[in-house]
A and B are shown apart, each in its own frame.
Chain A
């Protein structure tokens, strides 16, 4: 699976949009971009994923550049409960049971 690079940490203001970048310059054509987050000591939580088109759901938006070498997760209106470690993961879609590898996430602190 392709390697990803994320900022170690970032702060954002409550009520403002949080833009979390991720670089995945070695991504392959059949690899998806996934975002998960982990609130302290809780199980990781799926946020969103995409292949090449931008995606939006009730939690966030995912913007993938045209060359697919980077992406941005957007939390439109950050709340204090969004404080967590956010993981950008690149993984081949397909066979059930394929592992998701967590590492090098961004620690996001939402401040009042």
Chain B
């Protein structure tokens, strides 16, 4: 079965650079979530989208922005990168349809390292 696809899987950037992570949800899933997981920490919710509109927002820095496109894929843009942004970034998708059961399907993550 198709899963959530994240790219790139690994990314190395310098401080103050910009990075873009991409997420391709499972087909027919219209809801996308982004999570950030620092070393030894629990996944922290960043932001979610349903039908291309922002649905919920967590502790996402102002330097970060995200959007969901017409084909339901999503991109997380991170600017002015800081050392503390080094983390695993997970994308998850779910079939929304206006009702969310809470079953999220997670991708394998993108590991961002900021030097």
Interface residues, chain A, with chain B CB atoms under 8 Å away:
32, 34, 36, 38, 41-46, 49, 87, 91, 93-105
Total number of B residues with any Cβ neighbor in A under 8 Å = 34
**Measured between alpha carbons, how far is A105 from B102 in the docked complex, in Å?**
17
Contacting pair A99 B33 (CB below 8 A) = yes
Question: B88 — which chain A residues lie within 8 A by C-beta?
Answer: 41
Given the interface contacts A38-B43, A43-B90, does A96 sit within 8 Å of B100 by beta carbon? yes
Contacting pair B97 A96 (CB below 8 A) = yes
Contacting pair B102 A44 (CB below 8 A) = no
Contacting pair B100 A44 (CB below 8 A) = no
Closest B residue by C-beta to A91:
B102
Q: Which of A36, A38, A96 has the most CB of B within 10 A?
A: A96
Q: Which of B44, B50, B106, B109 contacts A96 (CB 8 A)?
A: B50
Contacting pair B100 A94 (CB below 8 A) = yes
Interface residues, chain B, with chain A CB atoms under 8 Å away:
4, 30-31, 33, 35, 42-45, 48-51, 55-56, 58, 88, 90, 92, 94, 96-109
Contacting pair A46 B105 (CB below 8 A) = yes
Contacting pair A99 B102 (CB below 8 A) = no
Contacting pair B90 A44 (CB below 8 A) = yes
Given the interface contacts A96-B30, A99-B48, A102-B43, does A34 sit within 8 Å of B96 by beta carbon? no
Contacting pair B108 A93 (CB below 8 A) = no
Closest B residue by C-beta to A42:
B108
Question: A43 — which chain B residues lie within 8 A by C-beta?
Answer: 4, 90, 92, 106-109
**Measured between alpha carbons, how far is A46 from B93 in the docked complex, in Å?**
12
How far is the CB of B72 from the nearest CB of chain A, in Å? 12
Contacting pair A41 B109 (CB below 8 A) = yes
Question: A105 — which chain B residues lie within 8 A by C-beta?
Answer: 42
Contacting pair A49 B100 (CB below 8 A) = no
**Measured between alpha carbons, how far is A101 from B42 in the docked complex, in Å?**
9
Q: 25 pairs across A/B with beta carbons < 8 Å?
A: A34-B102, A42-B109, A43-B106, A44-B90, A44-B106, A46-B103, A46-B104, A87-B42, A94-B99, A95-B55, A96-B31, A96-B51, A96-B98, A96-B99, A97-B56, A97-B100, A98-B56, A98-B100, A99-B45, A99-B58, A100-B33, A100-B45, A101-B45, A102-B42, A104-B42
